[in-house]
Amino acid sequence: MEGLIKERLPRHVAIIMDGNGRWARQKSLNRIEGHIKGIEAVRAVVTSCRELGIKFLTLYAFSIENWRRPGNEISALMGLLQRYLREELDEMLENNIRLKAIGDLDSLPRDAHDMLIETVEKTTHCDAMVLILALSYGGRDEIIRAVRRLIVDAKNKKIRPDQISEETFPNYLSTKDIPDPDLLIRTSGEYRISNFLLWQMAYTEIYVTKTLWPDFRKEDLIKALLNYQRRQRRFGLTSEQLAMEPG
Ligand code: IPE
Ligand code: IPE
Ligand code: MG
């Protein structure tokens, strides 16, 4: 499999799909054309991850900050989301892919929101891969909302302060039951996190490629995975300690 070591594939890959606007500008097209082209990359990456056996794939599709973009761009993106969901449902079912969504979903337009929830519900039985769409997502927003729920539980005596830990807190996040990302890929050469999965990426390996998102294909994914497999994840330990660990 292209030199990849199957046993050492990341369990969870997260992607900041960036560069649609620049892709369009380079071709003297409207930004929206870049987003339309971006969907082809989404399809290619979902299919490739499923084929490779990656268990969790999170795609940053729309950030909470993206609401500040021009209205016509936001409407186009919401329309594309609906089109994607409509066109991909059968593919997801056929390939046993479960859809999940994270973010402030209530702020999505009603029709996009309803179609999203419907697709999520229709794929709950699928278990070969989980595809997580981050929509109206902000890492800080997610943490704040977790804290709010935690305080309500504490008030209702469902949790005591001494029970709040690095193990229990993630249960209040929208990524509950999803392992932390092992690998973050960001396209279009930008070295920043842009408010993505702040809690979850404490020890995620980061890979940045100059490739713009609409051009990203299986070969680019494989390159990122090969690069990931060459790294030593130390989690604070020394290389010597890791060399002594079994396995
Ligand atoms: C990423 O591409 C898609 C979204 C943020 C929705 P951009 O639209 O950010 O593209 P650039 O960064 O302007 O090139
Ligand atoms: C991050 O891209 C969000 C998504 C890919 C959905 P942006 O293009 O919005 O990020 P910044 O503004 O360059 O940090
Ligand atoms: Mg961008």
Domain ranges of the chain: 8-138+180-244
Which residues have CB under 8 Å from 6's CB, separation 6+? 53
Nearest to 85 by CA among 35, 119, 42: 119
CA 5 to chain centre: 23
First to last CA, the chain: 22
Task: Give the Cα separation of 231 and 215 in Å (integer).
Answer: 25
Q: Is the dihedral of CA 128, 129, 130, 135 positive or negative?
A: negative
Taking alpha carbons only, the member of 4, 16, 72, 65 closest to residue 41 is: 16
Residue of 143, 135, 170 lying closest to 59 (CA atoms): 135
Catalytic, 66? Answer yes
State in Å: Cα 169 to ligand 3 middle: 30
Mean pLDDT per 10-residue interval, the chain, length 247 residues = 90 98 98 98 98 98 98 98 98 98 98 98 98 98 98 98 98 98 98 98 98 98 98 94 85
Query: What is the third-level CATH fold of 8-138+180-244?
Result: Undecaprenyl pyrophosphate synthetase (3.40.1180)
96 has catalytic annotation: no
* Strand 129-137, strand 183-186: pairing: unpaired
Atom in ligand 2 nearest the alpha carbon of residue 134: 6
Nearest ligand 1 atom, CA 23? 14
pTM of the entire predicted model: 0.97
Counting from 1 in the atom list of ligand 2, the atom nearest the Cα of 66 is 9
pLDDT at 128: 98
Q: Radius of gyration over alpha carbons of the chain, in Å?
A: 19
Question: 157-189, pLDDT tens digit by residue?
Answer: 999 999 999 999 999 999 999 999 999 999 999
Pocket perturbation via mutation, ligand 1, pick of 17, 20, 210 by most ligand atoms within 8 A of CB: 20
What is the C-alpha separation between 31 and 35, in angstroms, rounded? Answer: 7
- Quote the mean pLDDT of the chain: 97
Q: What is the C-alpha separation between 133 and 120, in angstroms, rounded?
A: 10
Nearest ligand atom owner, CA of 193: 2
